């Protein structure tokens, strides 16, 4: 996961660099050309590179801070169920240490005690609890189910965004072909 994040961060920086290089080599920042910078295609590369780099850096910071907001949003623990943690070498019941038969604190319903102190031990021994007792301490459902439910609840919005993006792509291809035709026509008359 970290490998892919780094790869996309490097890709974003390369695209950002190409955009900056393209704008500066065409002297788009010059005083007399600054008014037309909004129509420069290199601005798309610059924007895309900036957004990709920003997205990757946000992901890195979230991973480093161990931000669990998505786990809380989907109220999940494990892929299918909280018992998925049994296959983890640290959380299976045969493991030595305090984490044995437990789940990570990110699975806890309320890992904050009195809203102030993070209780990193709230998931200890959760796998040996019966489900009725465990549901007051940890999330029982898996993240795949939570994500699937979220997609089902927002399928209209997701479909609309997909259609709009597809429409913009088709429009861009149409405009590009028209531009190419005009360039060829202009070269033929020159």
Domain count along the chain: 3
Q: Residue 109 domain-assigned?
A: yes
User: Helix or strand or coil: residue 140?
Assistant: coil
Q: Are residues 25 and 77 in the same domain?
A: no
pLDDT (0 to 100) of residue 38: 63
Are 78 and 67 in contact, with CB atoms under 8 Å apart? no
Q: Are residues 104 and 122 in the same domain?
A: yes
**Residue 176, token pair as written in the block:** 């590009």
Structure confidence by residue, pLDDT tens digits, 29-71? 565 555 555 667 777 888 888 888 888 887 777 766 666 777 7
pLDDT (0 to 100) of residue 101: 92
pLDDT (0 to 100) of residue 1: 55
pLDDT (0 to 100) of residue 85: 92
Q: Are residues 17 and 47 in the same domain?
A: yes
Q: Are residues 92 and 136 in the same domain?
A: yes
Q: Are residues 76 and 97 in the same domain?
A: yes
Where does the pLDDT of residue 155 fall: very low under 50, low under 70, confident under 90, or very high at 90 and above?
very high
Structure confidence by residue, pLDDT tens digits, 79-120? 899 999 999 999 999 988 888 999 988 888 876 666 666 777
Q: Are residues 187 and 132 in the same domain?
A: no
Q: Are residues 93 and 133 in the same domain?
A: yes
> Which segment of 32-41, 70-79, 159-168 scores lowest on mean pLDDT?
32-41
Structural domain that includes position 187: 154-190
Q: Residue 149 domain-assigned?
A: no
Q: What is the DSSP string of 86-143?
A: GGSTTTSTTS-STTTT---GGGBS--EETTTEE-TTTTTTGGGS-HHHHTTTB--B-H
pLDDT (0 to 100) of residue 153: 94
Q: Are residues 134 and 178 in the same domain?
A: no
Where does the pLDDT of residue 19 fall: very low under 50, low under 70, confident under 90, or very high at 90 and above?
confident
């Amino acid at each position: 996961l970290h490998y892919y994040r780094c790869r996309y961060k490097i890709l974003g920086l390369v695209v950002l660099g190409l955009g900056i290089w393209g704008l500066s080599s065409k002297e788009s920042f010059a005083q007399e050309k600054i008014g037309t910078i909004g129509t420069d295609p290199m601005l798309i590369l610059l924007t895309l590179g900036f957004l990709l780099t920003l997205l990757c850096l946000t992901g890195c910071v979230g991973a480093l801070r161990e931000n669990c907001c998505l786990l809380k949003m989907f109220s999940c623990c494990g892929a299918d169920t909280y018992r998925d943690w049994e296959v983890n070498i640290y959380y299976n019941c045969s493991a030595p240490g305090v984490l044995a038969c437990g789940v990570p604190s990110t699975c806890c319903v309320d890992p904050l005690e009195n809203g102030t102190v993070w209780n990193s031990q709230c998931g200890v021994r959760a796998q040996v609890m019966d489900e009725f007792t465990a549901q007051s301490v940890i999330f029982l459902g898996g993240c795949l189910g939570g994500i699937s439910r979220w997609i089902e609840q927002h399928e209209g919005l997701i479909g609309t965004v997909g259609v709009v993006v597809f429409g913009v792509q088709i429009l861009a291809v149409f405009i590009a072909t028209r531009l190419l035709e005009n360039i060829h026509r202009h070269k033929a008359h020159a």
